[in-house]
Amino acid sequence: MPDAAIAIPPRATERRLPGARLRRFVPWALLALAIAAPFLLSAYNLNLLARFMAMAILALGLVLIWGHGGILSLGQGVFFGLGGYAIAMHMKLADLPAGELPDFMVWSGRESLPFWWQPFASPAFTLAAILIVPALVAALFAWAVFHRRVGGTYFALITQALALAFATLLTSRQDVTGGFNGLTDFYSVFGFGLSRPAVAKGLYWVTLAILCLAFIGLRLLLASRFGMLLRAVRDGENRARFLGYSPTPFKVVAFAIAGLLAGVAGALFTLHAGVVAPALVGVVPSIEMVVWVAIGGRYSLAGAILGALAVNLARDGISSAMPELWLYLIGALFILVVTLLPNGLAGFARARFGGEGRA
Amino acid sequence: MDSLLFLTQLFNGVSVASLYLLAALGLALSFGLMRVINMAHGEMLMLGGYLAYLTLIVVPGPLAILIAIPVAFAGAALMGGVVQTALISRLAQRPLDTLLATWGVSLILQQAARDIFGAIGVEVRAPDWLGGGMAVGGVNLPSTRLFIIAVTIAVLAGIALLLKRSRIGLLVRAVNQDRMMAGAVGIDVRRVDLMVFCLGSGIAGLAGVVLALLGPVTPNVGQSYIIPAFLVVVMGGLGSLVGTTVAALILGLFSALAQIFVDVSMAQVLLLLFVILFLQARPQGVIAIRSRALDA
Amino acid sequence: MAFQSSKILALAVSGLALALASCSGGGADGAAKGDGVAVGVLQSLTGTMAISEITVKNAEMLAIDEINAAGGVLGKKITALVEDGASDPSTFAQKASKLIEDGGVATVFGGWTSASRKAMLPVFERTGNLLWYPVQFEGNECSPNIMYSGAQPNQQALPALEWAVKQGYKSYFLVGSDYVYPRTANLILKKHIEKGGMAVAGEAYVPLGGTDFSGVIAKIQSAKPAIVINTLNGDSNVAFFKQMQAAGLSPKTLPVMSFSIGEQEAQAMGAALVEGSYATWNYFQSLALPDNARFIEAYRKKFGADAAITDPMVHGYLNVWAWKAAAEKAGGFDPEAVRKAAAALGGFDTPMGKVSFAPNQSLVQKAYVGKLKGDGQFEIIADSGADIAPEPYDPLAFPGKTCKL
């Protein structure tokens, strides 16, 4: 792929630009603004921003696997859902009077708590599950597919089927998953009442901190030897193989990290949205996750954050005002970005404002 | 186990397989040739359904459905040609981007159908001569399903003939084997791409007509068939007619027989697990094309 | 690379700031605003549920317009803030809090799927606002912040079963879409069928939107039930009836009782396909009542001369009128006072006859059994006689559960 060069653009011309020094302060100013957001925004808008930031964490994972690994996953909703359901199960159990069952189990005719629900009563187990389960499932799935050298388009199609199967399974096992309704009606997490404004602010800062952490971590990872080899595998799997590197471990590890980020994103999203349901993890939401990153810029971490925030905000605004228009708009935007701006808005910004003269 | 249920499901498996195959054939043809997947393929099915609806309005009568088939074929082929020319040919060598761009097309087509025909779907009635059925050994075989199986066999035979016997088929096989070489000897590769894409879309349009006999015609009807069709393509192997047919049969029978023991939702989940396990054994699909090329 | 990222980040956040600014700029119409009162109308205008929910939105808007034309509520004109739930539960929750917290609405009319209601419930409980929910549902819920006007299971599913028992059907096959309402309704039905000494011949679920019924129909054929109870949703019904017909099972040879096929669905499917099948609702368009005729005329004048009128639309319509009456009785728009006043309203006239809200905030109403005719209308062949008091928890299926408000 010729795009590799774009992924790490030359920086030499940069310093000559006027205002370059000023720009160095921009990220810090923005960070300060983001930290101050709870004091600037209404409760509703803060909640919205927090949700979209959670989604941005997932988008970062897509930059790793899709932009730098060449792996297109149309099934990130699965890992998002695993994280979301893990925290939701904990919250369902935490608010429960002793000896009672979660409401949906009662009306589904279940008489006892399934054994695999029980450990989720423990906060420590839940946190561990959020970190481990999505990553582990992602690793196992990726290994099963990649070690037989199935990749590319096949992989994308299989991940889409995985998203369908996951959503179908969640829907059909209503007595243990809450079915189509999903899990909702939470009152507290780890002892903090969710309706308190202070808790909402705290959760926002936690989300922001995790987003920053993921951003920094991935930047280091992409700049490391691992990142380089991942790009090498993307650009020529067999070349990497001849040089003595087996591509499978790189792809599996990258996919597992993306799975981990998706799981954390799902857990945070569930906290902010107050609901997790199959409709949030199925085929269409999984593709939409790719849309954020395609529009923001698949090679750029900052671009992915931009994409996730911008697309979701636009949807919130436009779909209320003109619901029919939204689908045409997102469809057309997607076609245009993919065909004309494969590096997304980030690539466009670089070409337009970066002074490198490449379009 | 209820042996009558088993036999009925065996027949249903073949019937479902024929639907999968009709939905997947066009995908498999163009995937074999260009290595691209058209996510808007499901909307070609939808288009076929709506064209059947329109045809039934213009020419009422018992045989209208037979007229609808070529009409839908032509309409969907035309739409396919537009998508191929305007979009896919510009994304050559970027198969994953093609996947995404065509998803945008699929969104737009669905919303367009919603705006033109309404979200609620339209009525396509099976003609009366497809009403009955026949009983073989106690198993009731509905005429509609027999008709669809017959159409599938006819389409398969038609494509096989086209590929094996016609000049166009020769060109397609040449490009399939070695795109660069075919181009070098003067074959207009892009025209071959366009023809195959139109043919594939046309088959989907035709499939949309027969699907309308058993299901609804709505803006999102394509979405319910597209994922099984993808699985058929993944399992069938690169562009092989035989491989695709066998894969459709395996998946159709698997799904129908699984439904004897589990519900439909679980059967869907098992179907995916089955495909992943199958790829462990045969990563190249049912029919593997042997090639010395490194990056197939 | 550091410079590059920072620039993009700058772009990102400035865009974000802009968008947020434009967000918070809109909809600051408070309920307390001098000359008007804001209410929310929250239905899916896009996505799979839009087809049904838009009609309910229309009916709710019709009621609002009529009330405004007649002078408003407590001398205030109603301003409707319409939001799109996009057929997605988390969007419903998001838009509900937008309406309440940013829009300052006095109350919200909306929701269709159980999933949307469940997702909105915590928002209404947290903010102390009130939701008017217009669709039949599976019960097992009783929140002080929701008025449930759609049928409880004992107002639709059980009357349907009673009718079937009276017809002498002894063996039942339950087919449904794979989601909460069908599964819970069938759970309740099964308990009652078994208690009545009859047989459940089989039970099958198909994923929402599913179109392959070959396996389900094979199971029906091998189970040979006397009647099929159908809780399929939307498009699946078309596939189900087409494939039943192809298999030689028309509603005439094997009766089908549906809980989700109304006038609109019948019209869309082609009434010929489902002619002769049964449905149970609290309202049919064919109800011969003067108020009903008036409502149908008003709706058609506004939204099309051949528009089909369905049960949830009438519930959405009567919700708005009930809210007006309750607010006037309470003398203000405080949700707490309004809901208490609503439960104490007594009987009021609606297109479906005189109804009232019970203390558990669900509607006391009749049930009707209709048989579908070739023109897409139902011929009412039986009714429950007396009004049925709503029971959120079926005593047989969920013993010991009661509604605590």
Chain B: residue nearest A335 by CA? B101
Contact C295, C314 (CB under 8 A): yes
Average pLDDT, chain B: 90
Q: How many CA atoms lie within 13 A of C228 on its CB side?
A: 28
- pLDDT given for residue A26 in this prediction: 78
* Secondary structure (3-state) at C296: helix
- pLDDT given for residue A21 in this prediction: 67
Contact A223 C94 (CB under 8 A): no
Contact C127, C88 (CB under 8 A): no
| A351 min Cα distance to partner chain C (Å) | 10
* Secondary structure (3-state) at C231: strand
Q: The tokens of A28 are what? A: 């810090």
Is there a domain that residue C293 lies in? yes
For residue A284, the tally of other CB atoms under 10 A from its CB is 17
CB proximity C200 to B under 8 Å: no
Beta strands B133-136 and B139-142 are: antiparallel
3-state SS, one letter per residue, for chain B: CCHHHHHHHHHHHHHHHHHHHHHHHHHHHHHHHHCCCCCCHHHHHHHHHHHHHHHHHHCCCCCHHHHHHHHHHHHHHHHHHHHHHHCHHHHCCCHHHHHHHHHHHHHHHHHHHHHHHCCCCECCCCCHHHCCEEEECCEEEEHHHHHHHHHHHHHHHHHHHHHHHCHHHHHHHHHHHCHHHHHHCCCCHHHHHHHHHHHHHHHHHHHHHHHHCCCCECCCHHHHHHHHHHHHHHHHCCCCHHHHHHHHHHHHHHHHHHHHHCCHHHHHHHHHHHHHHHHHHCCCCCCCCCCCCCCC
Contact B145 C211 (CB under 8 A): no
Could you tell me the pLDDT band of residue C348, with boundaries at 50, 70 and 90?
very high
Say which of B119, B214, B220 has its CB closest to residue C239: B214
Least confident of C4-13, C100-109, C198-207: C4-13
Contact C247 B260 (CB under 8 A): no
Same structural domain, C192 and C175: yes
Is there a domain that residue C373 lies in? no
Contact A165 B90 (CB under 8 A): no
Contact A77, A281 (CB under 8 A): yes
Could you tell me the pLDDT band of residue A350, with boundaries at 50, 70 and 90?
confident
Query: Closest by alpha carbon to C184, among C158, C148, C165, C216?
Result: C158
Is there a domain that residue C270 lies in? no
Say which of C13, C178, C207 has its CB closest to residue A30: C13
Say which of A45, A179, A300 has its CB closest to residue C23: A45
Query: Which of B111, B120, B217 should we substitute to test contact with C (largest number of C Cβ atoms within 10 Å)?
Result: B120
Classify C248 in phi/psi space as left (phi over 0), alpha (psi -120 to 50) or beta: left
Within 8 A of C238 by CB-CB distance, chain B residues are: 121, 215-216
Beta strands C256-258 and C227-231 are: parallel
Query: Closest by alpha carbon to A136, among A83, A211, A87?
Result: A83
pLDDT at A345 over 50: yes
Write the DSSP string, A200-245.
Answer: HHHHHHHHHHHHHHHHHHHHHHHHSHHHHHHHHHHH-HHHHHHTT-
What are the pLDDT digits (tens) for C244-275? Answer: 988 989 888 899 999 999 998 888 788 888 89
ipTM entry: 0.90
pLDDT at A246 over 60: yes
- pLDDT given for residue B1 in this prediction: 53
- pLDDT given for residue C25 in this prediction: 38
B174-B178-B179-B182 Cα dihedral, nearest 10 degrees = -50
- pLDDT given for residue C30 in this prediction: 42
CB proximity C205 to B under 8 Å: yes
Q: How many CA atoms lie within 13 A of C214 on its CB side?
A: 29
Q: Note down the domain range covering C86.
A: 35-151+286-366
Is there a domain that residue C26 lies in? no
Backbone φ, ψ for residue A329 (5° rounding): -65, -50
CB proximity C243 to B under 8 Å: yes
Within 8 A of A153 by CB-CB distance, chain B residues are: 31, 35-37, 95-96, 99
- pLDDT given for residue B151 in this prediction: 96
Same structural domain, C40 and C130: yes
* Secondary structure (3-state) at A308: helix
Within 8 A of A45 by CB-CB distance, chain C residues are: 20, 23-24, 102
Classify C104 in phi/psi space as left (phi over 0), alpha (psi -120 to 50) or beta: left
Within 8 A of A291 by CB-CB distance, chain B residues are: 100
What are the pLDDT digits (tens) for B111-169? Answer: 999 889 887 788 888 888 888 888 888 888 999 999 999 999 999 999 999 999 999 89
Rounded to whole angstroms, the Cα distance separating A221 from A227 reads 6
Is the C-alpha dihedral spanning C398, C403, C404, C405 positive or negative? Answer: positive
Query: Which residue type occupies C54?
Result: I
Query: Closest by alpha carbon to C255, among C330, C168, C336, C323?
Result: C168
Same structural domain, C239 and C298: no
CB proximity C304 to B under 8 Å: no
Give the N- to C-terminal CA distance of chain C in Å, as an integer.
Answer: 59
CB proximity C53 to A under 8 Å: no
Contact C246 B218 (CB under 8 A): no
B143-B46-B266-B277 Cα dihedral, nearest 10 degrees = 100
| C337 min Cα distance to partner chain A (Å) | 22
Q: Domain tally for chain C?
A: 2
Q: The tokens of C371 are what? A: 């048989």
pLDDT at C40 over 90: yes
Contact A337, A295 (CB under 8 A): yes
Rounded to whole angstroms, the Cα distance separating A303 from A344 reads 8
pLDDT at C135 over 80: yes
Same structural domain, C251 and C299: no
Interface of chain B toward chain C, CB-CB under 8 angstroms: 2, 4-5, 8-9, 12, 15-16, 19, 118-121, 123, 125-126, 130-133, 140, 142-145, 213-216, 218, 220-221, 223-225, 255-256, 259-260, 263-265, 267-268
CB proximity C144 to A under 8 Å: no
Query: Which residues, 6 or more positions from C354, have their beta carbon under 8 angstroms from its beta carbon?
Result: C347, C348
Burial of C272 (0-12, 13-18, 19+ CB in 10 A): middle
Average pLDDT over residues A291-301: 92
pLDDT at B27 over 50: yes
Burial of C328 (0-12, 13-18, 19+ CB in 10 A): middle
- pLDDT given for residue A12 in this prediction: 43
| A63 min Cα distance to partner chain B (Å) | 14
Query: Closest by alpha carbon to A23, among A357, A349, A358, A359?
Result: A349
Query: Which of B4, B7, B8, B22 should we substitute to test contact with C (largest number of C Cβ atoms within 10 Å)?
Result: B8
Rounded to whole angstroms, the Cα distance separating A303 from A292 reads 9
Q: Produce one character per residue of A147-186: b if its CB has 16 or more CB atoms within 10 Å, e if not.
A: bbebbbbbbbbbbbbbbbbbbbbbbbbbbbbbbbbbbbbb
Average pLDDT over residues A127-154: 93
Chain C: residue nearest B128 by CA? C246
For B234, B251, B253, B254, B274, the CA distances from B267, given in Å and listed in that order, are 18, 11, 11, 8, 10
Q: The tokens of A260 are what? A: 């981990």
What are the pLDDT digits (tens) for A186-204? Answer: 888 888 888 888 999 999 9
Same structural domain, C63 and C44: yes
- pLDDT given for residue B86 in this prediction: 92
- pLDDT given for residue A4 in this prediction: 41
What CATH number should be reported for the domain holding residue C236?
A: 3.40.50.2300
For A229, B46, B80, B227, C311, the CA distances from B244, given in Å and listed in that order, are 36, 22, 21, 15, 47
Q: Look up residue C305 and give its DSSP letter.
A: T
Q: Look up residue A12 and give its DSSP letter.
A: G
- pLDDT given for residue B226 in this prediction: 92
Average pLDDT, chain C: 89
- pLDDT given for residue A14 in this prediction: 45
Query: Closest by alpha carbon to A343, among A291, A300, A290, A292?
Result: A300
Chain C: residue nearest A28 by CA? C6
Within 8 A of C212 by CB-CB distance, chain B residues are: 16, 19, 255, 264
Is there a domain that residue C205 lies in? yes
Least confident of A218-227, B30-39, C293-302: B30-39
Within 8 A of B263 by CB-CB distance, chain C residues are: 178, 204-205
Could you tell me the pLDDT band of residue A82, with boundaries at 50, 70 and 90?
very high
* Secondary structure (3-state) at C173: strand
Could you tell me the pLDDT band of residue A155, with boundaries at 50, 70 and 90?
very high
Say which of B37, B100, B272 has its CB closest to residue A294: B100
Contact A279 C89 (CB under 8 A): yes
Query: Which of C9, C145, C187 should we substitute to test contact with A (largest number of A Cβ atoms within 10 Å)?
Result: C9
Contact B37 A153 (CB under 8 A): yes
Is there a domain that residue C8 lies in? no
Contact A49 C3 (CB under 8 A): no
Rounded to whole angstroms, the Cα distance separating A203 from B173 reads 60
Query: For chain B, which residues make up each domain, given as ranges?
Result: 3-122+143-281
* Secondary structure (3-state) at A3: coil
For A158, A247, B194, B197, C381, the CA distances from B191, given in Å and listed in that order, are 30, 36, 5, 10, 63
pLDDT at A290 over 60: yes
Rounded to whole angstroms, the Cα distance separating C368 from C284 reads 8
Query: Which of A184, A187, A316 should we substitute to test contact with C (largest number of C Cβ atoms within 10 Å)?
Result: A184
Is there a domain that residue C75 lies in? yes
Query: For chain A, which residues make up each domain, given as ranges?
Result: 4-280
* Secondary structure (3-state) at C174: strand
Q: The tokens of B135 are what? A: 């009983």
- pLDDT given for residue C26 in this prediction: 39
Could you tell me the pLDDT band of residue A124, with boundaries at 50, 70 and 90?
very high
Rounded to whole angstroms, the Cα distance separating A59 from A304 reads 6
Least confident of A12-26, A151-165, B160-174: A12-26
Rounded to whole angstroms, the Cα distance separating B46 from C377 reads 28
Beta strands C368-372 and C278-281 are: antiparallel
Average pLDDT over residues B89-117: 90
Average pLDDT over residues B274-290: 83
Same structural domain, C113 and C215: no
Contact B87 A339 (CB under 8 A): yes
Same structural domain, C43 and C143: yes
Chain B: residue nearest A289 by CA? B100
> Which residue carries 């309308």 as its tokens?
B212
Contact C242 B126 (CB under 8 A): yes
CB proximity B67 to A under 8 Å: no
Could you tell me the pLDDT band of residue C120, with boundaries at 50, 70 and 90?
very high
For residue C5, the tally of other CB atoms under 10 A from its CB is 19
Contact B279, B234 (CB under 8 A): yes
C119-A275-C237-B43 Cα dihedral, nearest 10 degrees = 120
- pLDDT given for residue B295 in this prediction: 52
Within 8 A of C210 by CB-CB distance, chain B residues are: 224, 264
For A24, A341, C153, C252, C357, the CA distances from A296, given in Å and listed in that order, are 21, 10, 48, 57, 51
- pLDDT given for residue A3 in this prediction: 42
Chain C: residue nearest B117 by CA? C268
Rounded to whole angstroms, the Cα distance separating A237 from A230 reads 10
Q: The tokens of B174 are what? A: 């040449």
Is there a domain that residue C354 lies in? yes
